[in-house]
């Protein structure tokens, strides 16, 4: 039993859960300091996130962009680069998607929708490519460049939504709220559970999660990305064009964030407006980390964090504490998860050593049956 | 400061047992050394030599057993404690601050005799005295970065003596030295022995152990095999004790008809990572069926030489030809496809992806050729089949082909790389330090495989800092010094002395 409790497999599952609980305990202290009853607040949060059909629908709606961004983060991380530029990539993806859909508004709906999503992804990819090429060619730190590109994307949005893309109706009404014209109804993503906002984007995100898993672990491209990420020297000797795959990792990361922006436009808002990115570019990183940077692990992680975002709003309304608190809890979760990784790694090293020692003791080299890796 | 010599007449380690999770590193090992004696500790990697000595130096603490100094049971808490008891250790990797002078390095961490004011003049005088007494020639005012490796080692020894070491542990001290430097070291060690010091000499080089020590203890698998006086022991006997079976020390090295030139370097120059010239006008030819050894002291351009051929380092001048084709501008992958195989010096860093499984690492070069992958998709059955085939063909000891490669021993990781590279039947093989840090069993195996490749007509460039290895395997020997090829000598005419002079940069001009 004690052995089981120390096994890496058990720790890998148990520690993230423990990390969440620990983060919530500290969050509870914060709530208490704010004068709220932590138990009541968390009960409201839980109910707001998962307690009813409409709550679940809202959670799944928030989960969609989180999962898409997290998938991109997974790819980037496996390629050895860290993409902090999700926010900017979401924004440029959403802007381009909106502009494109308004430009070709007379195309058949399914075609326009497909092309719009594609344009969003490609624009996000292009935004990621800037950081990618700078990293691959000039070894510019991608963390810095992607953060800076966020600021540029934000100002680009401010300019476009107040100028060239400003909704004609807003101009006519003289209200000048910074948002674009509404997209043609024909290309909206299917609403799955009206009257909630839940839309078909969630299905797309789930399918893509599986495809990203296949890409990373079943294809030669994924093998190259992972080799480059783990050991660029060995990758170089193995004949892999390392700079290309470094850039590709950031480009694919950008593509997924850009797609998330386009999906938000086509599925939720049906137009481009300020605040559309909603911090998903950062929360997506949290979800990816919590999901152990594995595309399939990102699914439950995005669900959990989507729920937290929804529940936090409810908590704010009911117990009168700022929903920003949930951002603090998110941060705490990440800190605990990352810290707990140390234990898993130590356990893994220990079992690895034991296995190696055991195989040395038996005289014949035991070759076990194959299984996939 | 107390400069009067402490003396250790006898040090005993009795039934020392040290356990790490899953490994019994020392199993009731009994070992002793007397003042005025050189006691060699012999064993393969992982035999428990370092673990035993680290307990003596206070870095680990024994789970069971006793350490006695002059008959008194002691507990050695820490290295500081060990130094206070007169035990010093010369590590394989020197612990010196490059920017400081010799005297400053020696004084580092010691109280000054003038309180807050430095007493470097007194330190220098004492260093002079020590270096005269033991033949440790070194200038106390020289900054360490200007010193050669052999000199740095002398500084380490002086440092230990300055701290009053009566017992000195030397961990593989000759690994970084030319044969002449090693001989100098031996003179020093013998002088220290005459002076009543107790010396423990850790090594796996049989020749040296036989040359210098009074007694020899052999460890295998954490246990003491035997302690024997150095009279009447032969290298073969020691090797058998180390490995537990007979070992072929000298391989039959049949002269072969050499064929066409497979690998040629013409006037090659290259820079190292810091942008300084690392290779200067290197011209070499390696023929089919030939092993060309490259001998030299570490850091004289060997690494750059291998990387230039593998395509990992750009040329600053000259050209590399593979099988008659100029491949100077080719990327590594294309050279691999043209028949080049490469065993990198830093196997953990350049040769494998530590996190990948054994099977994944075995296809690192072939992953985008059928049957390992078809189109975009990897074929897992083919990868597993290749893994199983190579694991058994090259006798790689691993729990399974899915084991993360990092948990394998150094020798087995080297066999993995060898399996991957040789299974392609390369025309040209560049092997850089193929047996460094590898146990005798695996070394024997690797040598056998290299000779098989030679017999099959491969052209092999063997870069090694182990002269014995080069003398055992190479047909011709090129000596590299400061990025230049000093000379290329046929093996029959090569002696350790002649090569040693060339390795030190002394060209013979008659």
Please confirm whether the linkage preceding B371 is cis (ω < 30° from 0).
yes
For residues B72 and A364, the model is more confident at B72
The verdict on B349 touching A (C-beta cutoff 8 Å) is yes
Flag if B401 and A220 touch (Cβ within 8 Å): no
pLDDT band of A349, cuts 50, 70, 90: low
- B430 versus B504: which is more confidently predicted? B430
Integer Cα distance of B489 and B380 in angstroms: 48
- Across the interface, of A227, A237, A366, the residue whose CB is closest to B342 is A237
> Which pLDDT score, from 0 to 100, does residue A366 have?
34
Task: Work out the end-to-end distance of chain A between its first and last CA atoms, rounded to an integer number of angstroms.
Answer: 27
Model pLDDT for residues A318-327, shown as the tens digit of each residue: 888 877 787 7
Asked casually if ipTM beats, i.e. exceeds, 0.85, the reply is no
Interface list for B 379-418 with A (CB within 8 A): 380-381, 384-385, 387-388, 391-392, 395-404, 406-409
> Using a CB-CB distance cutoff of 8 angstroms, which residues of chain A are in contact with residue B345?
none
Q: What are phi and psi of B268, to 5 degrees?
A: -80, 130
pLDDT over threshold 70, residue A360:
no
pLDDT of residue A353: 58
Would you place residue B266 in the very low, low, confident or very high pLDDT band (cuts 50, 70, 90)? Answer: very high
Give the mean pLDDT of chain A: 87
Separation between Cα atoms, residue A253 and residue B182, nearest integer Å: 55
Euclidean distance between CA atoms B18 and B4, whole angstroms: 34
B382: confidence class by pLDDT, cuts 50, 70, 90: very high
Q: Reply yes or no on whether the pLDDT at A361 is more than 80.
A: no
Res B21: pLDDT:
73
Quick: pLDDT tens for B181-205: 888 899 999 999 999 999 999 987 7
Flag whether pLDDT at A367 surpasses 50.
Answer: no
Q: What is the DSSP string of A7-56?
A: SHHHHHHHHHHHHHHHHHHHHHHHHHHTT--HHHHHHHHHHHHHSSHHHH
Show me where the domains of chain A are located.
65-190+198-303
Are B365 and A239 within 8 A, CB to CB?
yes
Helices (H), B216-368: 235-243, 302-310, 332-337, 358-362
CA atoms within 13 A on the CB side of B239: 17
| pLDDT score, position B411 | 81
> What pLDDT is recorded for position A359?
46
Q: How far is B355 from chain A (nearest CA, A)?
A: 7
Choice between B322 and B91, residue whose per-residue pLDDT is larger: B322
pLDDT given for residue B250 in this prediction: 63
Residue B144 in this model has a pLDDT that exceeds 50: yes
Q: What is the model's pLDDT at position A203?
A: 96
Cβ atoms A278, A86 nearer than 8 A: no
pLDDT single digits (tens) B430-471 = 999 998 877 777 888 899 999 999 999 999 999 998 888 898
Q: Judge: B392–A365 Cβ closer than 8 Å, yes or no.
A: yes
Query: In the predicted model, what is the mean pLDDT of residues A184-199?
Result: 90
Say what the pLDDT of residue B113 is. Answer: 83
**What is the model's pLDDT at position B510?**
42
Q: Which CATH architecture has domain B261-503?
A: 3-Layer(aba) Sandwich (3.40)
Query: In Å, what is the CA distance from A86 to each residue of A93, A125, A132, A253, B115?
Result: 10, 11, 13, 8, 59
* Interface contact A220-B367, CB threshold 8 A: yes
Q: Domain B10-243 falls in which CATH fold?
A: Rossmann fold (3.40.50)
Best B335, B378, B413 residue to mutate vs chain A (most A CBs within 10 Å): B378
Least confident range from A267-281, B142-156, B468-482: namely B142-156
Mean pLDDT (whole number) for A357-368? 39
Per-residue pLDDT, averaged over A88-111, amounts to 95
Q: Give A-chain residues touching B367 at CB under 8 angstroms.
A: 220, 223-224, 238
Which has the minimum average pLDDT: A173-187, A339-353, B80-94?
A339-353
Rounded (10°) CA dihedral A45, A49, A53, A56: 180
pLDDT of res. B465: 84
**Rounded mean pLDDT, A164-175:** 86
pLDDT at A150: 96
Parse chain B into domains and list their residue ranges: 10-243, 261-503
Q: Above 90 in pLDDT, residue A372?
A: no
Q: Which of B168, B203, B199, B172 is nearest to B42 (CA)?
A: B203
Q: Is A370 a residue whose pLDDT tops 50?
A: no
| Higher-pLDDT residue of A335, B254 | A335
Q: Which of A93, A158, A233 is nearest to B350 (CA)?
A: A233
pLDDT, residue B428, reads 96
């Amino acid at each position: 039993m004690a052995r089981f409790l120390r096994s890496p497999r058990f720790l890998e599952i148990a520690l993230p859960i423990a990390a969440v609980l620990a983060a919530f305990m500290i969050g509870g202290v914060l709530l208490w300091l704010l004068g709220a009853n932590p138990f009541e607040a968390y009960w409201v949060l839980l109910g707001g996130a998962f307690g009813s059909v409409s709550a679940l629908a809202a959670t799944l709606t928030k989960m969609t962009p989180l999962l898409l961004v997290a998938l991109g983060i997974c790819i980037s991380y496996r390629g050895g680069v860290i993409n902090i530029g999700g926010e900017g990539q979401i924004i440029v993806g959403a802007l381009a998607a909106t502009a494109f859909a308004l430009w070709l508004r007379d195309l058949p709906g399914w075609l326009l929708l497909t092309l719009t999503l594609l344009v969003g992804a490609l624009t996000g990819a292009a935004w990621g490519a800037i950081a990618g090429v700078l990293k691959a060619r000039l070894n510019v730190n991608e963390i810095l460049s992607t953060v800076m590109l966020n600021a540029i994307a934000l100002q680009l949005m401010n300019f476009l939504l107040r100028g060239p893309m400003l909704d004609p109706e807003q101009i006519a009404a003289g209200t000048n709220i910074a948002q674009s014209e509404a997209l043609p109804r024909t290309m909206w993503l299917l609403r799955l559970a009206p009257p909630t906002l839940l839309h078909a984007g969630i299905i797309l995100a789930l399918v893509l999660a599986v495809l990203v898993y296949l890409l990373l672990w079943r294809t030669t491209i994924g093998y190259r990305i992972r080799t480059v990420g783990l050991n660029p020297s060995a990758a170089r000797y193995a004949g892999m064009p390392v700079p290309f795959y470094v850039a590709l990792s950031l480009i694919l990361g950008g593509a997924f964030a850009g797609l998330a922006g386009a999906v938000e436009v086509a599925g939720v808002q049906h137009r481009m407006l300020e605040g559309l990115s909603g911090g998903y570019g950062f929360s997506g990183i949290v979800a990816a980390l919590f999901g152990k940077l594995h595309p399939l692990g990102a699914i439950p992680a995005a669900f959990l964090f989507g729920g937290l975002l929804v529940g936090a709003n409810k908590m704010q309304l009911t117990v009168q504490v700022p929903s920003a608190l949930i951002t603090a809890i998110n941060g705490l979760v990440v800190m605990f998860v990352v810290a707990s990784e140390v234990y898993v790694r130590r356990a893994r090293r220990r079992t690895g050593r034991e296995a190696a020692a055991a195989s040395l003791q038996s005289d014949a080299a035991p070759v076990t049956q194959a299984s996939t890796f | 400061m107390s400069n009067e010599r402490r003396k250790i007449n006898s040090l005993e380690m009795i039934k020392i047992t040290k356990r790490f999770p899953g490994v019994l590193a020392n199993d009731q090992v009994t070992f002793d050394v007397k003042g005025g004696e050189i006691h060699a500790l012999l064993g393969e990697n992982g035999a428990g030599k370092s673990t035993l000595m680290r307990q003596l130096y206070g870095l680990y603490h024994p789970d069971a057993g006793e350490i006695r100094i002059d008959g008194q049971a002691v507990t050695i808490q820490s290295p500081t404690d060990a130094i206070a008891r007169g035990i010093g250790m010369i590590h394989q990797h020197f612990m010196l601050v490059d920017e400081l002078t010799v005297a400053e390095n020696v004084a580092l961490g010691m109280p000054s005799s003038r309180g807050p004011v430095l007493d470097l003049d007194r330190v220098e005088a004492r260093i002079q005295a020590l270096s005269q007494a033991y033949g440790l020639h070194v200038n106390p005012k020289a900054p360490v970065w200007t010193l050669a490796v052999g000199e740095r080692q002398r500084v380490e020894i002086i440092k230990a003596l300055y701290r009053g070491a009566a017992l000195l542990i030397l961990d593989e001290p000759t690994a970084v030295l030319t044969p002449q430097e090693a001989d100098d070291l031996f003179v020093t060690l013998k002088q220290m022995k005459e002076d009543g010091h107790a010396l423990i000499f850790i090594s796996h080089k049989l020749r040296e152990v036989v040359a210098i020590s009074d007694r020899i203890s052999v460890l295998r698998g954490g246990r003491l095999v035997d302690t024997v006086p150095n009279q009447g022991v032969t290298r073969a006997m020691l090797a058998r004790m180390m490995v537990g079976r007979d070992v072929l020390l000298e391989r039959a090295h049949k002269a072969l008809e050499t064929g066409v030139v497979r690998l040629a370097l013409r006037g090659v120059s290259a820079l190292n990572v810091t942008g300084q010239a690392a290779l200067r006008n290197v011209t070499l030819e390696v023929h089919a069926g030939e092993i060309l050894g490259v001998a030299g002291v570490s850091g004289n351009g060997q690494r750059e030489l291998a990387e230039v051929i593998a395509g990992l380092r750009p040329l600053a001048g000259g050209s590399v030809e593979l099988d008659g084709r100029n491949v100077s501008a080719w990327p590594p992958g294309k050279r691999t496809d043209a028949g080049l195989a490469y065993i990198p010096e830093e196997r953990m860093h350049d040769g494998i992806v530590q996190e990948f499984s054994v099977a994944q690492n075995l296809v690192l070069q072939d992953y985008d050729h059928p049957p390992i992958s078809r189109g975009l998709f990897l074929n897992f059955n083919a990868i597993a089949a290749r893994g199983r085939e190579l694991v058994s063909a090259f006798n790689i000891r691993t729990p399974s082909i899915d084991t993360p490669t990092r948990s394998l021993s150094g020798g087995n990781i080297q066999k993995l790389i060898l399996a991957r590279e040789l299974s392609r039947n390369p025309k040209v093989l560049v092997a850089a330090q193929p047996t460094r840090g590898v146990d005798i069993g695996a070394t024997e195996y690797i040598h056998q495989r290299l000779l098989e490749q030679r017999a099959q007509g491969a052209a092999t460039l063997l870069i090694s800092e182990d002269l014995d290895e080069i003398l055992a395997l190479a047909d011709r020997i090129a000596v590299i010094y400061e990025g230049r090829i000093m000379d290329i000598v046929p093996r029959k005419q090569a002696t350790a002395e002649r090569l040693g002079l060339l390795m030190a940069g002394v060209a013979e001009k008659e």
